[in-house]
Amino acid sequence: MAPEAAQPAPAEVIEEEPPTPAAEPVAADGTLTHDAWLASFDTLGLSGLTRNLAAHCMVEHDDGEVLQLRLDPSQAAMQAEVHVERIREALAGAGVERRLVISDGELPASVETPKQRADRLAAERHAQAVDALKADPHVKQLQQAFGARLVEASVKPSGERARAERKMPWARPNVLTRQRASVVKCRHRADIFHETRIPP
């Protein structure tokens, strides 16, 4: 009996780390620092336009009575009293009871807003997921056998898997010109394309 062809090793499964405890929203002296603002932003329960407005702000000053946030001037059109009040209420619910003042102004290049931080972390997760898929033996096998290419823009890091499942099925073949296969590596998802030539 001929020996069976060697099969590529299964994709390594990396367990996700447990969520870290929510950061305290205030510093030791009771004031809200910008670092604490970044660390506790996702625990404030903000949503929609209110969250979007707050995500473009940095903490400029907090004296314990008045909290001043500086807003990216490119987002100044979003500012409305209803959003300011919702942010104030969210902060009060987290123990930061202040009069809230939001004014637009240029932000220092060295300071990251919650939006910029979220974008940076998302880009880092995406790059890690791309690297993991490129190293996966199943992906390499498809590339060698069919000249497949990894569509990096389609890669969904593990934290986005649920959303990816709603948007992208496991396989949606087009029998005329193209086939697509979804690949899982450490719970990341991506599209792999290869062209199918039809004989004349």
pLDDT at position 25, please? 54
pLDDT at position 149, please? 84
pLDDT at position 59, please? 97
Determine the angle formed by the axes of helices 81-93 and 48-55, rounding to 10 degrees.
80
User: pLDDT tens, position by position, for the chain (200 residues)?
Assistant: 444 444 444 333 333 344 444 455 566 667 899 999 999 999 999 999 999 999 999 999 999 999 999 999 999 999 999 999 999 999 999 999 999 999 999 999 999 999 999 999 999 999 998 898 888 888 888 888 888 888 888 888 876 654 444 443 333 333 222 333 444 444 455 555 544 343 44
Which strands form 178-185's sheet, in the order they lie side by side?
149-156, 188-195, 178-185
Reduced to 3 states (helix: H, G, I; strand: E, B; else coil), residue 199 is: coil
Domain boundaries, the chain: 34-112, 128-195
The widest CA-to-CA distance across the chain, in whole angstroms, is 83
Note the CATH number of domain 34-112. Answer: 3.30.300.150
